[in-house]
Chain A
Amino acid sequence: MIEAKHVSKVYKMGTLDLEVIRDLNLSIDSGEFIAIVGPSGSGKSTVLNILGGLDIPTSGDVIVDKKEITHLDTTQLANFRGEKIGFIFQSFNLIPVLSVYENIEYPLIMIQHLPSDEREKRVLEVLKEVDMLDQKEKYPDQISGGQKQRVAIARALVTNPKIVFADEPTANLDSKTAHRIIELMHKIKQDYNTTFVFATHDEKIVSSAERLITLVDGQITEDKRIVG
């Protein structure tokens, strides 16, 4: 599903070169539930961004669903993300001027250009899945943090992505809500065989992950599969 070969990422900081990712090699299969962990500044978010086609590596190749994405231009990368990838952010990043329903509908209109009946069917389906059907007319500032993250998950899933990248998805949620969100993502993974890749510090996610990748100073120090 995802293959990263000798990926490095260097940021220019004035005259200094800061190597955030060093010769990263990684292979992710379809339907995996992976947590990337590591201390702050270890490069977790950068790995997520590179694998998700949000950022381009300085060197190395990234192949997602048999497609080499490192040499795509901005528009091709946007199309690739719209078709294959879903993103869930720490601070939800819902569009404040759109209702819950419209936020979820957005990628189907603006990116996938689906007809209205198909859109309605898909939006209602994911709204039901995240248990937000009765909140669909509300606006982001009228719902709680947990509900916002459910909407963000629904928005990430509505395009039927093969992979969902979630950067600290539970960081802004209380413990009980975080548990419910993790359960929800597990259920979606089981129902749709969606691959989930998390960058997280959250023990709850770590304990529910099937594979744990530890990153230190931009290098994988541990990659273990958790059984049971």
Chain B
Amino acid sequence: MKNIIKIAFRNLKRSSRRTLLTAALITIGVIFVLVYSALSSSFKAYMVGEITDSMMGHIQIHKKGYIASVDNLPLDKNLNKKQIDKVLEVLDTNPYVESYTFRIKLGGMFSNYVSSTNIRLNAIDPKTEQTTLPLFEKRIMHREPHLLQKGEMLIPELLAKGMNVKKGDTAVLVVNNKQGSVNGLNLKVSGIVEPISGPGGRDGYFHIEDAKKILRIKEAEVSEIVIRIKNVSKLQEAMKSMQGLALIKNQKDKPVFEIHAWTKLSPFYNIIKMLNLMDISIKIILISIVLISILNVMIMSVYERIKEIGTIAAMGTPPSTIVKLFLTEGFMLGVFGAMAGSIISFVIVKVIDTIGIRFAFGRQSELVLHPSLQMSDIISVSIIVIIIALIASISPAFKAAKLNPVDALRQN
């Protein structure tokens, strides 16, 4: 094999300009795929991190039917104490779960004593919210050293600008409870929340104990349970481990709970699916580049060396060795292109990572992306390139092996 590699290498060197051009074409294709892949996967990871770690968590559990009517923020579809206990039985022993937090979601009126407007609110336990959504506090501008205390609220940036409310101002929150009675509560604005894309991305926050007070809730009651899992890549397994809850039925034989992964709740997941589709499209373009360029080079190589092939065949070189010789040439072109492309891509991605790419997404601006190249991407793209290079060499290699030595030797 060593000698086949040696001869194949020298044959490639013999047409050095053509070899370099072909390898350069493959290299450019590999760079294109790897840099795009680094940027898109970093963008996806960044945005998914933003969404799951600052707002949605990885999994949410609600009372059956809640998500269908989530726009109305219905209080009559909250989980009661018995149902919460049932969920906790599963969560507290589940190996995938890192932490969870309770929320009561409600709508109300926000007044700054001059004017009032609608507001969507999340009543949270700041301690569990922080452990379940570690990036949540980063969304809060001009906040106190603590995240949130009783008697305080965090209002969305749009509302703060629209009603000219600043941190430290006092406002009144007026809400209807489940029974229909209207209750109000004075709260201090302790911070402004940056918006984020997706449902709930422009909500305000206040303490869950204040929510219980204003809603006149006596027993434990929550709208949603937000779960953070230990390993994001095990989302499907974690979902499966909680499916037992979805099978629990009430006296009317209807399911009690609904469990959703963030992928079902956030519209950003559709953008991820589009990006993944573009990943595949770009890989197909790369495959076409490699296939066409290597096929072209190898066919030319066979036609140029017909007499030489005839000579080695006449000497007694078996057809299988001739096949190996041409496959090795294609393989080496693929390896060279994949290696050069990977090295150059690594450098390009490193430079972009050092500089950082500033971008805006939706209403979020000044986001900085630091792409990184995954070893798995380098390996998978290199394997694709090498396999396609080999496939492209098969037809010319067999053509060379099938040449009749007498006819081949007659060629000039």
Contacts and interface: CB of A to CB of B under 8 A. Distances in A.
Interface of A: 49, 52, 54-55, 74-75, 78-83, 85, 87, 89, 93, 95-98, 106-107, 109-111, 155, 159
Nearest to B316: A82
A79 to B, nearest CB: 7
A198 to B, nearest CB: 16
A75 B318 contact: yes
Given A54-B405, A89-B409, A95-B312, A110 B317 contact: yes
B311 interface: yes
B3 interface: yes
A97 B315 contact: no
Contact of A110 (B307, B312, B406): B312
Contact of A79 (B10, B311, B318): B318
Nearest to B412: A91
A87 B310 CA distance: 12
B319 A78 contact: yes
A52 B405 CA distance: 12
Contacts of A78: 313, 316-319
A110 B14 CA distance: 20
A107 B7 contact: no
B10 A106 contact: no
Nearest to A96: B14
A93 B320 CA distance: 21
7 contacts: A54-B406, A78-B319, A82-B318, A87-B315, A93-B308, A98-B10, A111-B317
A79 B319 CA distance: 10
Contacts, number: 67
Interface in B135-168: none
B321 interface: yes
Interface of B: 3-4, 7, 10-11, 13-14, 307-308, 310-321, 405-406, 409
B316 A79 contact: yes
Contact of B307 (A93, A106, A109): A93
Given A89-B311, A93-B307, A109-B3, A81 B316 contact: yes
Contacts of B406: 49, 54-55
A171 B234 CA distance: 76
Contacts of B316: 78-83, 85, 107, 111, 159
A120 to B, nearest CB: 14
Contact of B308 (A75, A79, A80, A95): A95
A85 B321 CA distance: 18
Contacts of A111: 315-318
A96 B11 CA distance: 9
Which 10 pairs of residues, A with B, have the shortest CB-CB distance? Answer: A82-B316, A97-B10, A81-B316, A93-B311, A111-B316, A78-B318, A109-B3, A55-B406, A87-B314, A78-B316
- Pick from B307, B310, B312, B320 the residue with the most CB of A within 10 Å: B312
Nearest to B324: A110
Contacts of A109: 3
A52 B313 CA distance: 12
A110 B311 CA distance: 13
Given A93-B308, A109-B3, 4 more contacts: A78-B316, A79-B316, A87-B314, A93-B311
A43 to B, nearest CB: 13
Contacts of A74: 319
A177 B4 CA distance: 34
A62 B102 CA distance: 92
Contacts of A82: 315-318
Contacts of B319: 74-75, 78
A96 to B, nearest CB: 7
A138 to B, nearest CB: 15
Contacts of A80: 316
B387 to A, nearest CB: 26
A155 B311 CA distance: 11
A52 B406 CA distance: 11
B85 to A, nearest CB: 76
A80 B319 CA distance: 13
A74 B314 CA distance: 11
A46 to B, nearest CB: 8
A192 B14 CA distance: 37
B322 to A, nearest CB: 9
Contact of B311 (A83, A95, A159): A95
A127 B314 CA distance: 21
Contacts of B14: 96-97
Contacts of A95: 7, 308, 311-312
A85 B310 CA distance: 15
Contacts of A97: 7, 10-11, 13-14
Contacts of A110: 3-4, 312, 317, 321
Contacts of B3: 109-110
Contacts of A155: 315
